[in-house]
C-alpha cells in the first residue's frame, strides 16, 4: 500500500515538473514574436537596411528557438526518465 502511494507521488511530480518545464516554450514563442516585430519596425524606419536586419533577425530567431528546444528536451527528460 505504501509503495503504491510513492509510485503515484512520483508520477504526479513528474507531470507537474514537465508542465512547469513547458513554460520555457511559451517564453520562446513570445521572444520569437518580439524578434520579428522589431524586424518589421526596423525595416519601416530604414528600408535600406532590410537585408542586414533580416540576417540579424534570423540569428535572433535561431537562438530563441534553441532555448525552446532545450525546454522541450528537459520536458521529455522529466517525463521519460
Which CATH number does the domain housing residue 52 bear? 1.20.20.10
Total count of domains within the chain: 1
66 compared with 24, residue with greater pLDDT: 66
Question: In the prediction, which pLDDT does 16 show?
Answer: 94
Please report, for residues 35, 70, 77, the alpha-carbon distance to residue 40 in angstroms, rounded to integers and kept in the order given. Answer: 9, 27, 37
Average pLDDT in the 54-64 region? 96
Range of the domain at 53: 2-80
| pLDDT, tens only, 7-22 | 888 889 999 999 998 9
Question: In the prediction, which pLDDT does 14 show?
Answer: 92
Q: To 10 degrees, the CA torsion angle through 16, 21, 24, 29?
A: -70
Average pLDDT in the 25-41 region? 95
Quote the pTM value. Answer: 0.78
Amino acid at each position: 500500500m505504501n509503495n503504491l502511494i510513492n509510485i503515484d507521488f512520483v508520477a504526479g511530480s513528474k507531470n507537474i515538473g514537465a508542465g512547469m518545464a513547458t513554460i520555457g516554450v511559451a517564453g520562446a514563442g513570445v521572444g520569437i514574436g518580439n524578434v520579428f516585430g522589431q524586424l518589421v519596425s526596423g525595416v519601416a524606419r530604414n528600408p535600406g537596411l532590410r537585408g542586414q536586419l533580416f540576417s540579424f533577425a534570423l540569428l535572433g530567431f535561431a537562438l530563441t528557438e534553441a532555448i525552446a528546444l532545450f525546454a522541450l528536451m528537459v520536458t521529455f527528460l522529466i517525463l521519460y526518465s
